[in-house]
Structure 1
Amino acid sequence: MPAGKTFVVEHLDPELEAWSSLEYATIASESHASGAQFLLSSVPDSLTLPANLQNAQGLKVETRSIEEIYADRKDKVCLLDPAASQDLGPDDGDTFDIFLFGGILGDDPPRDRTSELRKKGYQGRRLGPVQMTTDTAVRVTRIVVQDRVPVDKIPYVDHPELKINKNESTEMPFRYVVGEDGAPIMPKGMVELIIKDTEKGLDGLL
Structure 2
Amino acid sequence: MESPKIVIEHLEPKLSTWLLFEYENASKLLKKNILFTNVKSARARKKLRKFGRVDRRSVLDIFPRKKLLILDSRAKKALAPGDLEGNVIAVVGGILGEHPPRGRTKTLLTQRAPAAKTRNIGNWQFAIDGAAYVTKLIANGRKLKSISIKRGLILRVKLKPSGVHEVLLPYAYPIVDGRPLISKKLLHYMMNVKNPEITWCDRPSSDD
Q: TM-score, normalised by structure 1?
A: 0.82
Aligned to 1:185: 181
Instruction: Identify the residue that residue 199 of structure 1 maps to in structure 2.
Output: none
Tell me the C-alpha RMSD between the 2 structures.
Answer: 1.9
Does residue 139 of the first structure (1) align with residue 133 of the second (2)?
yes
1:13 maps to which residue?
12
Deviation at 1:24, TM superposition (A): 0.7
* Superimposed CA distance per residue, residues 69-93 of structure 1 (whole angstroms, 9 cap, x where no aligned partner): 103xx22210001111000011112
Query: Is the counterpart of residue 55 in structure 1 residue 19 in structure 2?
Result: no
- Amino acid in the other structure paired with 1:136: G
Deviations 1:89-111 (A, max 9, x none): 11112255210122205223222
The aligned length equals: 185
d(CA) in 2 for partners of 1:28 and 1:18? 15
Tell me by how many angstroms 1:132 deviates: 0.7
Identity of aligned residues (%): 26
Distance 1:165 1:81 in 2: 37
Alpha-carbon shift at residue 29 of structure 1 (Å): 1.5
Q: TM-score, normalised by structure 2?
A: 0.81
Question: Which ranges in structure 2 are unaligned for 5 or more consecutive residues?
Answer: 193-208
8 A Cα contact 2:10 2:93, kept in partner: yes
Q: State the distance in 1 between where 2:120 and 2:87 align.
A: 14
Map 1:95-134 to 2 at 5 A.
97-114=88-105, 115-119=107-111, 120-121=113-114, 122-134=116-128
SS at match of 2:8: strand
1:174 lines up with 2:171 in the alignment: yes
Normalized per residue, which structure has more strand? 2
C-alpha displacement of 1:144: 0.7
Could you tell me which residue of structure 1 aligns to residue 202 of structure 2? none
2:8 matches 1:4: no
Aligned runs of 1:36-75 on 2, under 5 Å?
37-49=33-45, 51=47, 53-56=48-51, 59-71=52-64, 74-75=65-66
Q: Which has the higher contact order (CA 8 A, sep 6+)?
A: 2
Aligned partners of 1:41, 1:161: CA distance in 2, in Å?
Answer: 32
How far residue 135 of structure 1 moved from its aligned partner, in angstroms, is 0.7
Secondary structure in 2 matching 1:173: strand
**Alpha carbons 1:42, 1:66 under 8 Å: kept:** yes
Alpha-carbon distance in 1 for matches of 2:149, 2:3:
23
**Which consecutive residues of structure 1, in runs of 5 or more, have no partner in the other structure?**
197-206
Change (3 A) 1:55 1:103: closer
Between the aligned partners of 1:152 and 1:63, the Cα distance in structure 2 is 35
CA separation in 1, counterparts of 2:109 and 2:43? 21
